[in-house]
Structure 1
Amino acid sequence: MRVVVIGAGLGGLAVARRLRHDGHDVTVVERQEAPGGRAYRLRDAGYTWDTGPSLVTMPWVLEEAFAAGGLDLRSEVTMRRLDPMYRIRWAGDERHFDFADDVGRLEAEVARFSPRDARRVRPFLDGLEPVYRSVILDAGRRPFLRAGDFARLVPRMARLGVLPPLHAYVARAFRHPRVREAFSFHSLFIGGDPFRVPALYAALVYLQVADGGWYVDGGVYALVEALARDLDLRCGEPVEAIEWSGERATGVRLAGGGRIAADVVISNADVLRTPALLGRPAPRRRLRPTMSCFLVYMGTRRRWPGLLHHTLLVGPGYRSFIRDVTRRGVVPRTFSTYVHAPSRTEAAMAAPGGDSLAVLLPTPNLRGGTDWTAAADEVRDALVADMERSYGLHGLAADVVVEHRMTPLDFERRLGAEWGNAFSIEPTLGQSAYFRVPNRDRRIRNLYFVGGGTHPGAGIPGVLLGAAITGDLVAADAAAAPRRRVPAGAR
């Protein structure tokens, strides 16, 4: 069976490897000059940065994805468990919070802020265990192709108390505002506002404690390289259209004028762009994209002891900050950022004695109307000044040897992300499971989807679990009904 995968992100590569290992003829076409999608790599002057995801959780999902593609994860890459996973620092507060995967140490960290809240850590985690097992894992391993699939899940979520907003759920367990922030911010890693997404995302805390946080030597891009190795991968070839007739996709048309015929088309492109690729009008019910990000990749001539491998720098007005970037559409006046410093774990990621820092600031997507061609310099300078002033990184601006940036415009132009979104579709209850883009199109039976915009969602585990669902659907559909073969010369 001839399969064409649009997009060489982690989801596209994982499903391509899986189907090729099953004996299918698979071609992956990618608009950028190298595979990776959002999980790209940048190198300059002895410094290396992952431009996208950087924290690996649920490592067994990686093991399953590699095994399904005929690879052994531990033979392909070197993984290191991070201890602690990350540090949270608050502007104006000398205390920090080190998030470890050991419950006793987690209790000790909470006790520094509230002894009462420390006693609530184990009951909180115990309450999340069934959410993780019976909702996150169960729902994350099967497709939601019919409304009834979701309807049967809702009562279970209601019984577990995870339908209300995430922050409200956490606030019922903990009183101290710092502790509440430490246990509720995780949905931001997949583009979700903790004051609006359902509390089921509290299970992100549980899975980190259960399975730890990991680093891959060479960065997340080492996973991309392993999955992409020896695939039929055509980079620098954007897809202009998915061709279809009746209820069948027949292939893809490339921007350069070429065409690839197919029995099956799998799209790892931004799902919000699918109607345009199909030549369809935009749907009446338009899914809402996530926020975007402004990223600064800095190579510095020295290391910064105030930063761990992963550090969150939380500024004043945390809730207002999130509302600005997710709802109001304005660049916030105060900054809350995530900093990745991989040379803490792997010295080779930076020039000798230096740091490779990736600084991520959540921002509104392009619907907010910010002119990033004019605003980027101002935002960058204010961001670096805030890191110096509020977190003790004095001299950072003068210490930068090499620097690159990524704005919402780059998400739109380079990645084809609608409105420059950073995490595809917002993971609200009304945009989850059945209400997300399905793993198989509801009208075109041999058109499938992978990536952060389809079920189960964004993040490395999410897209890899989604790739397994999509791969299983392709295999089941192929077994259920013989498909017309593409003639050998139809390329």
Structure 2
Amino acid sequence: MNTALIIGAGFGGLALALRLQSAGIATTIVEARDRPGGRAYVWRKDGFVFDAGPTVITDPDCLRELWDLSGSTMADDVDLIAVSPFYRLKWSDGASFDYGNDDPALLAEIAAFDRRDVEGYARFLRYSEAVYQTGYVELGAKPFLSFLDMVRAAPALVRRKAWQSVYRSVSTHIRDERLRQAFSFHTLLVGGDPMRTSSIYALIHSLEKRGGVWFARGGTNALVDGMVRLFERLGGKLILADPVEQILFEARKVTGLRTRSGRTLHADMIASNGDLVHSYGLIAGSRYAARQTRVLARRRFSPSLFVLHLGLRGTFPDLAHHTILFSDRFKPLLNDIYRDGRIPPDPSLYIHHPSATDPSLAPPGHSTLYALAPVPHLGHADPDWHSFGDRYREIVLDRIRDQLIPDVRERITTMFHYTPVDFSADLGAHLGNAFSLEPLLTQSAWFRAHNRDDHFENLYLVGAGTHPGAGIPGVVASAKATASLILGDG
């Protein structure tokens, strides 16, 4: 195969495009929005730079590898800055926990909660390193196309007790409830409930320990722009602001794309980095695709997000780059979001404060901030977000006022929010989900969307809905798995 079309310029689509273009396959990306990035979109307002997300960069080596493929150097296009601490975790009783890569400091933080958990943490770290080797190094970029692939992986998954939840695995080693939350919340950053997500996802702790947590100077959008520059230097073509409206096919081959502007593009193969349900819905006239759309729509999708973006007067040297504010109702709140379809009145918040690391993201003497609250997707809770969003914004501001910035409202110069309705409208996300399929064991590996379609022999998938899942390392690994199939098939 000599030519390729990719739908969507998110991290997965860009990573796949770089792999294909580096291998000599003439690749064109077709993106619906006016900028590349997908979920890593960016807004520039009143001198502030607001990244939509994702904002946590781990395993920078998986990104550097994309430049290495063509003999290029990532540092020529992207400046990564180490973030320390990785996260500051806070509870309403005033307790705080700095979570980072300084081992003596981390052990001292753990001991301040419960000295017995220092040894428990050492056991958990050994477990995390073991599942990292199994789930990320060995299986992370391996495509699962047949159930036999899953059977071959099963013994390793059984050894790592993959049927247990992350929270259960952490609790086996750690006694203090707040520390249990501290070492299991990561699944929320990839759309998973710590009480239900497979303990394989405990590998995220080892991933962070090994590779650190990073931020791209200029924001996550600067990483996207760096990938685009490399892609175009290699001869790749990027089409913006032209949504794909139809995937064309003949028999068991896809043949091209038709876009809203009237373009018809043809290639030897097509890959979609779009939402799974939306992608199959583009294959009009195919009974197989219609069936796939129905099947996928019945799967369990991750929750959505309410994201409040703030431009504030003043700077906050004591406010970490990443802060987690835990609700007092950790387990019941998760049930609200994942099981019962209730929008929490007391949300846990992830606070992103990028101007702590890169002051250029705000005007002088100002700060850029966003607050992210997990909420049910539209299939579980569907208020009128156009009006309810304003009310929920006040709840989020109250949480920031009470725990971080007492006069936050008086400091606001720029403010806007993003809701599940926006995820649906802007990204074609089924039910407004934020992370594609929920990362359950029964929706992982072979049970996730396959990197090559089972019917159309030259249709491929990449991104959060495929193996291994959401998050920058996950979608970049999915691109590696998909590229291995394409280049092997070629």
1:90 and 2:101 aligned:
no
Matches within 5 A, 1:271-420: 271-279=276-284, 280-281=289-290, 282-284=293-295, 286-367=298-379, 368-389=381-402, 391-420=403-432
TM superposition shift of 1:305: 4.5
TM superposition shift of 1:46: 1.4
Partner of 2:489: 477
- Separation in structure 1 between the aligned mates of residue 318 and residue 303 of structure 2, nearest angstrom: 28
Partner of 1:6: 7
- Separation in structure 2 between the aligned mates of residue 415 and residue 422 of structure 1, nearest angstrom: 9
Q: 1:266 to 1:70 in 2, by over 3 A?
A: farther
Matches within 5 A, 1:21-32: 21-32=22-33
TM superposition shift of 1:118: 1.4
Preserved CA contact (<8 Å) 1:41 1:50: yes
TM superposition shift of 1:447: 0.3
- Over the aligned positions, Cα root-mean-square deviation in angstroms equals 1.3
Partner of 1:202: 202
Preserved CA contact (<8 Å) 2:162 2:441: no
Cα deviations by residue, 1:40-61 (Å, 9 ceiling, x for unpaired): 1111111112111011101111
Cα deviations by residue, 1:282-316 (Å, 9 ceiling, x for unpaired): 34463221100011110001123452000001121
Q: Secondary structure at the match of 1:469?
A: helix
Cα deviations by residue, 1:246-299 (Å, 9 ceiling, x for unpaired): 110000111222211111001011112222111332344632211000111100
- Separation in structure 2 between the aligned mates of residue 337 and residue 69 of structure 1, nearest angstrom: 40
- Separation in structure 2 between the aligned mates of residue 453 and residue 352 of structure 1, nearest angstrom: 40
- Separation in structure 2 between the aligned mates of residue 434 and residue 352 of structure 1, nearest angstrom: 50
Partner of 2:463: 451
2:249 to 234, 244, 250: 244
- Separation in structure 2 between the aligned mates of residue 75 and residue 153 of structure 1, nearest angstrom: 39
TM superposition shift of 1:405: 1.3
TM superposition shift of 1:69: 5.1
Letter in 2 for 1:141: A
Preserved CA contact (<8 Å) 1:102 1:209: no
Letter in 2 for 1:382: I
- Separation in structure 1 between the aligned mates of residue 312 and residue 72 of structure 2, nearest angstrom: 36
- Separation in structure 2 between the aligned mates of residue 228 and residue 71 of structure 1, nearest angstrom: 13
Partner of 1:177: 177
- Separation in structure 1 between the aligned mates of residue 169 and residue 428 of structure 2, nearest angstrom: 35
Partner of 2:43: 42
- Separation in structure 2 between the aligned mates of residue 303 and residue 327 of structure 1, nearest angstrom: 39
- Separation in structure 1 between the aligned mates of residue 72 and residue 243 of structure 2, nearest angstrom: 28
Letter in 2 for 1:242: I
Partner of 1:116: 116
Preserved CA contact (<8 Å) 1:251 1:262: yes
TM superposition shift of 1:162: 3.0
Preserved CA contact (<8 Å) 2:444 2:467: yes
Partner of 1:102: 102
- Separation in structure 2 between the aligned mates of residue 51 and residue 61 of structure 1, nearest angstrom: 22
- Separation in structure 1 between the aligned mates of residue 149 and residue 104 of structure 2, nearest angstrom: 38
Cα deviations by residue, 1:225-253 (Å, 9 ceiling, x for unpaired): 01112231110110011111111000011
Q: How many residues end up aligned between the 2 structures?
A: 476
Q: Secondary structure at the match of 1:338?
A: strand
- Separation in structure 1 between the aligned mates of residue 247 and residue 295 of structure 2, nearest angstrom: 21
Cα deviations by residue, 1:370-392 (Å, 9 ceiling, x for unpaired): 22012000000111012212x04
TM superposition shift of 1:77: 1.2
Partner of 1:213: 213
Q: Secondary structure at the match of 1:249?
A: strand
Partner of 1:481: none
- Separation in structure 2 between the aligned mates of residue 378 and residue 284 of structure 1, nearest angstrom: 35
The TM-score with structure 1 as length reference comes to 0.95
TM superposition shift of 1:471: 1.2
Cα deviations by residue, 1:380-413 (Å, 9 ceiling, x for unpaired): 0111012212x04111012100112111111000
Partner of 1:132: 132
Preserved CA contact (<8 Å) 2:468 2:477: yes
The TM-score with structure 2 as length reference comes to 0.95
Identity level (%): 37
Preserved CA contact (<8 Å) 2:316 2:356: no
TM superposition shift of 1:163: 2.0
TM superposition shift of 1:19: 1.1
- Separation in structure 2 between the aligned mates of residue 318 and residue 68 of structure 1, nearest angstrom: 44
Letter in 1 for 2:168: A
TM superposition shift of 1:68: 2.5
